[in-house]
Amino acid sequence: MAAFSAATPVDAGVLAHWDFEESAQSGSPDSFGRYFVAADSTGNYNAWRTSTSTAVRQDYPGKFGDAAVGGIRFAGGGSTTSFINIDPIGGMLSGDFTIAGWIKPETLSNIPTLFADWGSSLASQSFVVRLTKPDAESPYGLTFILSENGTGARLVNGTYGSIVTDQWQHVAVSYDQLGPTSAVANWYINGSLVGTQNVSAASVVPYGPAGSVYTFARDLSGNTYYNYNGLMDEFWVFDRALTSGEIGGLVANNLVPEPAGLALIACAGLCAAWWGLGRRRANGPLK
Ligand SMILES: [Ca+2]
Ligand SMILES: [Ca+2]
C-alpha cells in the first residue's frame, strides 16, 4: 500500500491519490451502508460503493504496483453497479487543479465517463472527464468539461487526442486560473499536450463541490451506457495545474516532482543575494 506515494513531496499539492493496490473490496458495509473499495493516500477520500456486485473488481493488474492486483476493473456495459464513489473533494474546484490517471479501455462505445461530479444532468455536473468520439471519422479522444460557479455556463468543453482499446494510456487535464477573468485548460495524453483552451469569462472560478458524490466510471443518473468499461490505475488529484514536466514524471514513474518555485520560496531570505547575482549575470543589471 502507498508504495508509490512515499516519495511524493509534501508540497506537491496532492488532494487525493488512489493506487488501487487492494486485491478485493470490503464485503462488510460501514455505518453508512457503504462498502470500502479503494484507499486514498491522504486518507480523506477513500472510494466506496453501495453494493458488492462484481461489476467492480480489484483483482486486476494496473500500470504501477502489484503485477496481479495493482489496478481496478469496471465492467461497464450497461451495468447499474459499475462505478465507485468518493466524497466531493473540497479545495479541488475553487481554483486551479489537475486530474491525472491511467486507463486501459476494453471497449469504447457511447461516451464513457472516467471521473466526474455525479449530477442529475450534465448541466448540474461541475466537472466531467470522459471519452468521446466527436464524429464518425474521428477516434475517441479525451473530453474535459468544466462549469462556471453560479451560472453553470461552460468554462471549458473540448475533446482532443486519440484513445484506443487494450493499451494503458495516461490521461490528464489541468485548469490554471491566470487572473479573475482568464484561465487556461490543458489536455494531456501519455504526457504529451494534445489540447489547450484559453478561458475568458466574467468569473473563471469553477463550481465548488456541487454534487453529493464524485464518481469514477459512471455518468448521469440512469445513463448506464455512459459507464466506462476497462481498467484504471493511479489516479491523482492536485490543487494546482501541474506543468507538462510534472505530468511527464507521473507518466514515467508515477512520482510527482517538487514544484519548481518552492526551492526559491524556501530560501527566500538566505538566497536573495545569491538569486539577485544570478539574475544579474543572466539578464543584465536589475532595475
Ligand atoms: Ca487492485
Ligand atoms: Ca496501482
- The full set of domain ranges for the chain reads 14-256
Encode pLDDT of 145-194 as tens digits: 998 887 788 999 999 999 999 999 999 999 999 999 999 999 999 999 99
What radius of gyration do the chain's Cα atoms show? 20
pTM of the model: 0.87
Encode pLDDT of 105-143 as tens digits: 999 999 999 999 887 777 778 899 999 999 999 999 999
Query: What three-state secondary structure class fits 186?
Result: strand
C-alpha of residue 93 to centroid of ligand 2, in Å: 25
Distance CA 24, CA 47 (A): 13
Angle 162-165-166 from CA coordinates, rounded to 5°: 130
Torsion of CA 55, 56, 57, 63, to 10 degrees: 130
Distance CA 233, CA 114 (A): 11
Parallel/antiparallel/unpaired status of strands 47-49 and 97-105: unpaired
Q: Which residues surround ligand 2, an ion (CB under 5 A)?
A: 19-20, 62, 64-65, 70, 233
Residue with cell 471519452: 131
* Range from 58-62, 99-103, 181-185, 255-259 carrying the lowest mean pLDDT: 255-259
Residue 154 CA, chain-centre distance (Å), reads 19
C-alpha of residue 68 to centroid of ligand 1, in Å: 8
Q: Any bridge partners for residue 143, and if so which? A: 130, 159
Fold of 14-256: Jelly Rolls (2.60.120)
C-alpha of residue 238 to centroid of ligand 2, in Å: 18
